[in-house]
Structure formats: C-alpha cells, structure tokens
Structure 1
Amino acid sequence: MRILIVQHANFINGSGGTEKICSFLANTFEAGGHEVIIGTNEKIAGKPVFPLSENIEVKNIYSENDGQIKFLPIYNYLGKNPLRWLSFKLEKKFAKAKNRKIIQDTGGEEKLYFHNLSARAVQWKKYIDGISPDVIITMSIGSLLEITYNNEYDIPIINSTNGRPDYDYSDILWYRPDYEMKLLEAAYRHLSGIQVLFESYRSYIPKSFTGKVFVISNPINGSDNTHFPSNQKDRHKVTHVGTLNVSCKQQDLAIDVFNALAASKPNWILEFWGEGKDFKLLKKKIKSLKLENRVFLRGFTDDPIRHMKEADIFIFPSKYEGFGLALAEAMSVGLPCLGLASCSGVNELILHKKTGYLADNNEQLQAYLSELMDNEVERNAIGGAGKEFILEKCSHSLIERQWIDLVDNFKQ
C-alpha cells in the first residue's frame, strides 16, 4: 500500500509534537511493509529533525510559480550594529507597507486567503493524482483543507488529531476569522476516518464528520532504567520540558510557585528545558526575583528523557494541551508529576493522587509541590504508578499495532 502523509507546513526543521508523531507514523508504516511519502508545501530549506527510515520519501511540492500572491518577508535584526539596525528597520517598514498594498489590491484579507488556498489546492491535486496513493493521512485539519479545497478524491483520507479536535477548527486558542473556521469545519466531510487521543475527545468532533473514529494515544518510549534520586544527595531538581511560551505552558506560574517555596527548600532547584519566544521574558522574571542561582533556563535538548531521569519532580502547569507529550514522557520514567485540573490532555493522563497531582489553583499547586519535595516515599509511589499507567496505555508496540490495524481498515 502506498501511504501519503500530508503535513503542509513546519515538517522541515520542525521539532514539535506533530513532527515527532508524523515521523513515528511514517516509520511505523514503512516497517509494516508499506511505501511511505511525507508531503509538505513550504518555502524552506532544511531537513526533518526526527529520524526517518531511508526508504521514506520526503517531498516538498513548493514552487515559486504556484499562483500564490506572496507577502514580502519581515525580519527583525537581533544584532547590535546601529547602522544595520536602522537598515533592517527601514526594510521592515517598507515590507509592511508593501504587504498592506497587496491586501488592498487583492480586495482584502478574505479574498487573498481564498486565492492562495485555491492555488495551493490545485498544486496538491496535481501532485496527489500523479502519485496515486492508496491512503492519505493528514496531520492537521489545515492540511486536510489544503488538499481538499474544491477537490474530490476517491482515496480514503484519515486525519491524525494531535490535540483536542476543536482546537483545529475553532478560535478557542487563537484568532481565526469566521470564513476560515467554516472552511475547516466543512473539510471534515472529506474524511473516511479520524484518530483522536482520548475517548472523551469524540465529543469535540464537528457534525460535518461522518466517518469512523479511532481512539489511539500518542506513543511513549518505555524506560527500563528508571532512577529515583535519593534524599541523600545535595541538590534536588524540579524540572519542566516544553516550548517557552507562557500563554500556553505557563512557565511563569511554575516560577512563582517555586519562588514561594525556595527559602524553605534551600536544596531544591527548578530547571526548564526548551526554547521559545518567551526566553527573555522568563529570564527577566528570574532576575527580578533574584533566583539566578535557583532557577535555570537550560535551552534546547535532543534527549529530554535523560534530563528527566536526573530530576526528582516534573511540573507541567499548562493552560491547555492536546496530549502533553513531555508530561507522558516524564511519567514513563517514573517522575512524580503535577499539572492543572482544568487542562485538557493533562487531566486525561494524571489521575489525581494516583498517577500524579492535579491542582485547581495556584495555591494547590504550591501545596502539592511542597508535599512532594518533603516526601521521597510519596514521590516514588506516585512516580511508579504514573509509569505503570503510561506504559500500559501508550507503549510504542501497542500504538504501532493500532495504527497498522487502522490503515488496514481502508485497504481497497
């Protein structure tokens, strides 16, 4: 069977959860004897971040002559040369003015959106008809919309949903204009099947979808090398892994909670692994609280599991998540974990006081963190239960079998 996996943007050079799952699916299907192509459409140079079998083709169908009306790129100068800063500022001002003119000449943002979407859909149709896949898997509803807008296929299309389904077609998390939300919701009618992460997520699928629903978790690598750091060591670690984005991941909340306990817990530190737009904001906060020797921004890591094994507690105070991949990985190595009860995804993985702690507010989060800091026996018990839960529900072998069974449903 020839399987086309479509991630229309961000796969090249992307290191997020969607890119990781896309690579996992490609490797799973290839190991199962299928021919696999990953298709993307983006003006970018680079390569996939996560390992792929050498037999998997990655095809970027982007073309300068694809009929799109393109904006001028806007760059920020990060250096210290005042002349270059001025040059970049003038270029940025010109680009913004030119882009406003493009929108005006096209007839507005909505008409420009439809024009470019149509151009990309034509490009996808030509490519897909040329390779004739047996099954198409889209990595988002945005990817589904791109390939199906004004197009019809006699090919089963399955969407891999890497978050809560309504995040994909609504404006719950960020602004989307009405016309885009209507298109995204309507795109579900093209699907033969959809994969969701939790049983409860079925209720967030729109009525436009009439295909089969498959509940399949994200895969988590099990660890046979769990390490529970001893109370005998000089310094203990609370850790967090994730993109530095306070509007979602709320690392600033983790700092506030730790700060309230820092004086009474002098042998504990807090560390963050990850990069993101809020690095400077968090660094400034750490400095303002005089926590430079207690709270650390460690930067990017290609081996988060190793750092989790060196830690004692995992704190994950996200406002929203689809699954919480870093949380599940922390649980898989036996780290006791804390999160917010209101956070989707997190409240599916953590069963309160069984596989971790779910706090209703900041005060509870602080109290639970303090409790875990003070009690190694409790850390070990909660961490062990969390590991058992994750490895039962999310093992690689289980998820691989479920996905192979899923595509077998659509053999023609």
Structure 2
Amino acid sequence: MKLFLVYLAPFITSTGGAEKVCCDMANAMIERGHDVSILYCYGKSGTPFFPLDKKIQLCNLMALHPEKWKGQLEPKLPKTQKIIREVLRVASISWAHGWEEDYFGKLIRSDLTEMLQKEQPDIIVCNWPKEANYLINYVKTSVPVITRFHFGAQILALNSSPGSKRACSKSQYVSVLLQGDLTYLKKYIPDARGIVIPNAVPQYKEIQTVLCKEKAWYTIINIARLDKHSKRQHLLIEAFAKLSQKYPQWRVELWGSDWNKKYKKELEDLVAKYNLENRVLFKGVTHNVLEKNLAADIFAWPSAYEGFGLAMAEAMSAGLPVVAFRSCQAAREIVGEDCGILVSDGVNAFSKGLEELMANREKRVQMGASAKKSMRQYAPNKIWDAWDRLIMKERE
C-alpha cells in the first residue's frame, strides 16, 4: 500500500509533537510493509529533526516549481489578503481560516495535482483538516483521505473553516486522539466518521526515574515549546516562586523551542523578579527527552489545552508523576488519580499541587510507578497496529 502523509508546513525545521508523530507513523508503516512518502511545504529541502527511515521519501511541494515562490521559505498571504483575514477574524475565526485557505487552495492546487499524479498514492493521510480541504475540495482527488486531528476537537473542529469541515465530512475517517474529542467532532462536524486512535507512547521497559534516592538537586521538568496561551510556562514559574524558599534543593528545567522570543523575554523577566536565575533554567531543545525525564522528579504541565500531551505521556512512561490542570481535557483523560495531581485553575492551586509531591517522596515514587504502568495502553505496537488495520480496511 502506498501511503502519502501530508504535512503542508515547514516540516523539516519543526520540533513539535505533531512533527514527531508524523515521523513515528511513517517509520511504523514502513516496518509494516507499506511504501511511505511525506509531503511538506518549505522553501528549502532537507531532513526532519526527528529520526526517519531512509526508505521514506520526502516530497517538498515548493521544490516542484521553485521559481514560483521567488525565494520565499513559506507561502505567504499578500498584505491586502491579511487585512481582510483579520477583519473576518473579528466576526469568526472559522471565516478567517476559510479566507486564508481559499487563497492557498487556489495557489497550490496545480502543484498538489501534479504531485499526486507523480506519486500515485493509494491512501492519503492529512495531518490537519486544512490539508484535506485542499486535496478534497480544490484538487478534488479521488484517492481516499483520512484526516487527523493533532489538536483537541473542542477547538480545532469549532474553528476549522467551512471548507475544512466539508472535507472532514467527505474523508473516509477523521482520527481524533481522545474519547472526549468525539463529542465535539459530532457537535461541530456531524457527518464526520470519527475514530479514536491515541498517540503512541514509547515504553521504557525496566528503565524508570530514580525517585527514591537522596539528591543534591531535585528537578521539576517541563518539556514544551515556550508558548504563552497554550503551554503557559509563566504559571509554573509563578507557582514555583511561592515554594522556592521553603524547598531550596528544588529547581525547574524548561526544555523546548524558544521560537516566541517575546514570551521568552517575559519569562526571563519573571525569573529575575523572583531572583530565581540559578533555579529556573531555560535549557532549549533536546534530542534525548528520555535522559532528561530520567533525571527529573516531577513533570509539571500547566497547559490550558492539548491535543494529547505527548511530552506529558512520555514523562509518565519514564515513571514521573504529573501536576496538571484539571481543566485540560488531555490531562483529565490521561492522568489517573493515582498517577499525579490534577488541580483547579490558578497559580495558587498549581503551587499546592507541586508542594504535595515535593514534600512527599513516597507519593512521588508511588505515583511515578502508577504513571509508568498506565502508559502501557498507548504502547506503539498497539497504536500503529490500529492504524495499519484502518489503512488495510480502506484497501478492502
């Protein structure tokens, strides 16, 4: 079966969870005997941040006719189109997305058509609804399309453009990550054929964080891009500041891309305000997430919303207990009451949740062991076998 994984973004330069999942899926499908290509869209060709089997073909849409893009790294809206989009956004985010997608759909339609004719895939897996919109409504492909939601349907289905919603309705399936997503998918895109396939979470066998030993430093870790509205690392810093004097052997490590320089500066100023420069550390991007988790003691997850929370799940699989907000759907579904502390919204509640684990090593050990065990349900073989069955079902 020839699979075409579509990710129309700067795939090779991104270090986020969606890019990792795309690479993991491509590798897993190659192992199961499929022929796999990944279609991305960027002004330069290259290899992704995450490991990718050499048998997987990378197809760059912008490399098909580079003269068309005049040196751009990404397709961009003209200034007048941006103004119209932002005016529409005041009335409806969905309409704003629709305006933008209509422009890009017409812009890349011929290139997408040419690429499909060249590659001749049997199944297309779109990583976002807008990609399904381009392929189904603009290219009008007859190839079966499966559309993935890497983000919570509560937001993504609500704010998707009218064209993307129609494309989801025409897709063979729409794959969501959490059981709760099906409710929102049905609410906002009633005709979509929803199916729940969670993200695959690495299993580390007997490897586990060493939470029971005495240490010179104990570490609260967060692994996520620095993002003010979704990841909200400022809440972690504020919460830790309330505890820093009482627990002088504890520190915070923030791992992840600092693409939002303005927000990073806000975080640095916040750290300086509390004189925590030596105890709240900005560590950047890492290729070895497991190593960082194994050296930590608590995984802090102050996110407002997540598609799945893969970084959190990987930390749990390594044996770390979690502190997260109950209002985050992913945390509610993934973090059992014996695996971590779910708290109400607000800095004070998050601080109390952290302290509950910081003050009690035995609880950290017990919850860490439970967290590790609970991640077995997301073992890669189970998840990728589910995808393989779905793909083969379409072949039949």
User: TM-score, normalization: structure 2?
Assistant: 0.88
Return the alpha-carbon distance in structure 1 between the equivalents of residues 70 and 183 of structure 2. 38
Letter of the 2:207 counterpart: N
Return the alpha-carbon distance in structure 2 between the equivalents of residues 100 and 351 of structure 1. 48
Deviation at 1:113, TM superposition (A): 5.5
Tell me the alpha carbon deviations over residues 164-212 of structure 1, each in whole angstroms, 9 at most, x when there is no partner: 12433434xxxxxxxx722221221220012111222111215656454
Return the alpha-carbon distance in structure 2 between the equivalents of residues 102 and 332 of structure 1. 45
* Aligned with 1:323 (options 308, 324, 346): 308
8 Å contact kept, 1:140–1:168: no
Letter of the 2:351 counterpart: Q
Matched, 1:128 2:116: yes
Tell me the alpha carbon deviations over residues 315-335 of structure 1, each in whole angstroms, 9 at most, x when there is no partner: 111011111111001100111
Shifted more, 31-40 versus 146-155: the winner is 146-155
Matched, 1:266 2:248: yes
Matched, 1:387 2:372: yes
Letter of the 2:151 counterpart: G
**Partner residue of 2:391?**
407
Decide whether aligned partners of structure 1 residues 254 and 127 sit closer, same or farther in structure 2, where only a CA change above 3 A counts. Answer: same
Q: How does 1:139-288 map to 2 (within 5 A)?
A: 139-171=127-159, 181-206=161-186, 208=189, 210=191, 212-223=193-204, 224-276=206-258, 277=260, 278-288=263-273
Tell me the alpha carbon deviations over residues 41-73 of structure 1, each in whole angstroms, 9 at most, x when there is no partner: 332343211111111101112158589798988
Decide whether aligned partners of structure 1 residues 297 and 399 sit closer, same or farther in structure 2, where only a CA change above 3 A counts. Answer: same
Decide whether aligned partners of structure 1 residues 310 and 123 sit closer, same or farther in structure 2, where only a CA change above 3 A counts. Answer: same
Q: Which runs of 5+ in 2 are unaligned?
A: 89-95
Decide whether aligned partners of structure 1 residues 347 and 10 sit closer, same or farther in structure 2, where only a CA change above 3 A counts. Answer: farther
Letter of the 1:20 counterpart: K
SS in 2 for 1:261: coil
8 Å contact kept, 2:220–2:253: yes
RMSD: 2.8
Letter of the 1:49 counterpart: F
**Partner residue of 1:398?**
382
Return the alpha-carbon distance in structure 2 between the equivalents of residues 333 and 162 of structure 1. 23
**Partner residue of 1:56?**
56
Tell me the alpha carbon deviations over residues 247-293 of structure 1, each in whole angstroms, 9 at most, x when there is no partner: 21111110111110111111111111112212222111111111112
Return the alpha-carbon distance in structure 2 between the equivalents of residues 404 and 132 of structure 1. 19
Shifted more, 3-12 versus 110-119: the winner is 110-119
**Partner residue of 1:89?**
none
User: TM-score, normalization: structure 1?
Assistant: 0.84
Letter of the 1:203 counterpart: T
Return the alpha-carbon distance in structure 1 between the equivalents of residues 254 and 37 of structure 2. 35
Deviation at 1:228, TM superposition (A): 2.1
SS in 1 for 2:161: helix
**Partner residue of 2:332?**
347
Return the alpha-carbon distance in structure 2 between the equivalents of residues 261 and 126 of structure 1. 59
**Partner residue of 1:40?**
40
SS in 2 for 1:270: strand
SS in 2 for 1:307: helix
Decide whether aligned partners of structure 1 residues 262 and 62 sit closer, same or farther in structure 2, where only a CA change above 3 A counts. Answer: same
Return the alpha-carbon distance in structure 2 between the equivalents of residues 269 and 228 of structure 1. 17
Shifted more, 226-235 versus 189-198: the winner is 226-235
Decide whether aligned partners of structure 1 residues 70 and 345 sit closer, same or farther in structure 2, where only a CA change above 3 A counts. Answer: farther
Report percent identity of matched pairs: 25
Return the alpha-carbon distance in structure 2 between the equivalents of residues 13 and 72 of structure 1. 15
SS in 2 for 1:315: strand
Deviation at 1:130, TM superposition (A): 3.1
SS in 2 for 1:62: helix
Return the alpha-carbon distance in structure 1 between the equivalents of residues 83 and 218 of structure 2. 58
Matched, 1:301 2:301: no
* Aligned with 1:311 (options 296, 312, 316): 296
Q: Which runs of 5+ in 1 are unaligned?
A: 75-94, 172-179
Tell me the alpha carbon deviations over residues 112-161 of structure 1, each in whole angstroms, 9 at most, x when there is no partner: 76343212123212321332211111111121112223332332111122
Return the alpha-carbon distance in structure 1 between the equivalents of residues 341 and 13 of structure 2. 35
Decide whether aligned partners of structure 1 residues 166 and 368 sit closer, same or farther in structure 2, where only a CA change above 3 A counts. Answer: closer
**Partner residue of 2:30?**
30
* Number of residues of Structure 1 aligned to a counterpart in Structure 2: 379
Letter of the 1:298 counterpart: K
Decide whether aligned partners of structure 1 residues 54 and 209 sit closer, same or farther in structure 2, where only a CA change above 3 A counts. Answer: farther
8 Å contact kept, 2:7–2:38: yes
Decide whether aligned partners of structure 1 residues 252 and 399 sit closer, same or farther in structure 2, where only a CA change above 3 A counts. Answer: same
Return the alpha-carbon distance in structure 2 between the equivalents of residues 255 and 383 of structure 1. 22
Deviation at 1:371, TM superposition (A): 1.5
Deviation at 1:218, TM superposition (A): 0.6
Decide whether aligned partners of structure 1 residues 43 and 146 sit closer, same or farther in structure 2, where only a CA change above 3 A counts. Answer: farther
Letter of the 2:228 counterpart: V
**Partner residue of 1:357?**
341
8 Å contact kept, 1:188–1:209: no
Shifted more, 24-33 versus 206-215: the winner is 206-215
SS in 1 for 2:221: strand
SS in 1 for 2:222: strand
